[in-house]
Amino acid sequence: MTLNDAHTHFFSAGFLRTLGRDLAVEGDAAVALPARLGWEAPGTDEALADRWRDELDRHEVSRSVLIASVPADETSVAAAVARHPERFVGAFMVNPAAPDAPERVERACTELGLRMVCLFPAMHHVPVDDPRSRVVFDAAARHGKAMFVHCGVLSVGVRKKLGLPSPFDLRLGDPLAVAAVAARYPDLPVIIPHFGAGFFREALMAVEAAPNILLDTSSSNSWVRLVPGVTMASVFARALEVAGPSRILFGTDSSFFPRGWQRPIYEGQRAVLTDIGADAAAASAIMGGNFDRVFGAPRT
């Protein structure tokens, strides 16, 4: 069975320097912040790409999405993809409210060759159906890319550890709003991560309403504690019933080193699939096959 990870974060030097500006860090934040957090410093984008390649090799993961996790860091992921195109699919966060957002999306989708555009409506306070977000959807559809829209509970662990404020508006992370927009782009894959991150019922309704919406399984899915009676077994079982195995993508939400790739998430989710009686074909689709269909064959 091919194992691919549809959700990992590329915590580059550029990512750390962006956080460092918010904290007014003295010196190079790409070195100072990892020291404060107990992380490995990422080094150059190429060095971090090699680190991720070696980590995937160690865990026998064939390919991974790498997400540029702050706006305007898309060139970092593009450098990683250029170094190992057979292993990585590039994704990037965009703030639709930024004046240069349309130009950045256009360049990332063409010149930089990235494959997925990520919206965080609650973080950037821009609704999914806002005209500024629609510009992003238009570009992704026009260039044959995929969209990723974060919904539900949003907690950025590194911001918490550094004491940075997170003034998110969770009301904007409604999967039903995603469905309303996704339905206008029937050929555009639209991914809702973490099973909707607390808006599980709404995520299932979105999947039912728009056949081009997929769910990703990433992270520990700690949001289940907010929904009485819900377990990961019931989440997977209901997602398989509504979405079917062809519309679920395995992911871990891995991000920094030395923790690296989060194998316990993989092992836990494989165990859940076994416990609920998912057959080998369903498990194979979720763990790798759907990734290749959505993002295309590996590049060389």
Give a yes or no: residue 30 inside a domain.
yes
Distance CA 125, CA 173 (A): 10
Within its chain, how far is the Cα of 66 from the centroid? 8
What are the backbone dihedrals phi and psi of residue 113, each rounded to the nearest 5 degrees, phi first? 70, 25
The answer to whether position 87 is within a domain reads yes
State the pLDDT at residue 140.
98
Is the C-alpha dihedral spanning 124, 127, 131, 134 positive or negative?
positive
**Residue 269 parent element (H or E):** helix 263-275
Structural domain contains residue 300: no
Q: pLDDT at position 16, please? A: 97
CATH classification of the domain holding 8: 3.20.20.140
Q: Which residues of 139-153 are buried (b: 16+ CB within 10 A; e: fewer)?
A: bbbeeebbbbbbbbb
Q: How far apart are CA 266 and CA 40, in angstroms?
A: 23
Residue 148: its H or E element: strand 146-149
Measured between alpha carbons, how far is 102 from 81 in angstroms, rounded to an integer? 22
What does the angle CA 187 – CA 102 – CA 299 come to, to the nearest 5 degrees? 55
81 in a domain, yes or no?
A: yes
d(CA 141, CA 206): 19
DSSP letter, residue 98:
S
Pairing mode, strands 63-68 and 88-93? parallel
Average pLDDT value for the chain: 97
Which two structure tokens, joined as six digits, stand for 96?
């639709």
Boundaries of domain holding 125: 4-295
pLDDT digit string (tens) for the chain, length 300 residues: 899 999 999 999 999 999 999 899 999 999 999 999 999 999 999 999 999 999 999 999 999 999 999 999 999 999 999 999 999 999 999 999 999 999 999 999 999 999 999 999 999 999 999 999 999 999 999 999 999 999 999 988 899 999 998 899 999 999 999 999 999 999 999 999 999 999 999 999 999 999 999 999 999 999 999 999 999 999 999 999 999 999 999 999 999 999 999 999 999 999 999 999 999 999 999 999 999 999 998 887
What pLDDT is stored for residue 165 in this prediction? 87
Q: Is 216 helix (H, G, I), strand (E, B) or coil?
A: strand
The total domain count for the chain is: 1
Whole-angstrom distance, CA of residue 223 vs CA of residue 87? 30
Helix (H, G, I), strand (E, B) or coil at 157: helix
Whether residue 173 is contained in a domain is answered as yes
Contact between residue 129 and residue 172 where contact means Cβ atoms under 8 Å apart: no
Let me know if residue 133 belongs to a domain: yes
- What φ, ψ does residue 216 adopt, rounded to 5°? -110, 150
pLDDT at residue 299 in the model: 83
End-to-end CA distance of the chain: 21
User: Is the CB of residue 283 less than 8 Å from the CB of residue 270?
Assistant: yes
